[in-house]
Amino acid sequence: MTILSSYLPQIDLHGLDRDYARILVNEFVEDNYKLHNKTVLIIHGNGTGILRKTVQETLKHNKYVETYKIDNFNTGTTVVELKQKN
């Protein structure tokens, strides 16, 4: 766990199927965009990489996402930078 994870909004997708994870990621990102949060964490775990790929694919097409990357300290987490609301 990184120090940032204690302070940033996060969602844990462990144990979810791809379709439900996709829905939750989109809702989580939109909600945090509306709350003017700049950075959020999505915990997908390491495992087989299916959830990580699903998260990245979902974020790639989400209009509220500025950038995203795998956390440098925890490869089971994606750090998402959201666009700023006007």
* DSSP count for the chain of H helices, then E strands: 2, 4
Structure tokens at 31: 């909600």
Phi, psi of 82 (to 5 degrees): -95, 150
Residue 86's pLDDT is what? 73
CATH 3.40.470.10 is the classification of domain 4-82: no
Q: Domains of the chain: which residue ranges?
A: 4-82
Structure tokens at 20: 């439900």
| pLDDT tens sequence across 26-83 | 999 999 999 999 999 999 999 999 999 999 999 999 999 999 999 999 999 999 999 9
Q: Which residues of 62-80 are buried (b: 16+ CB within 10 A; e: fewer)?
A: bebbeebeebeebebbbbb
Q: Evaluate whether 71 touches 30 at the Cβ level (below 8 Å).
A: no
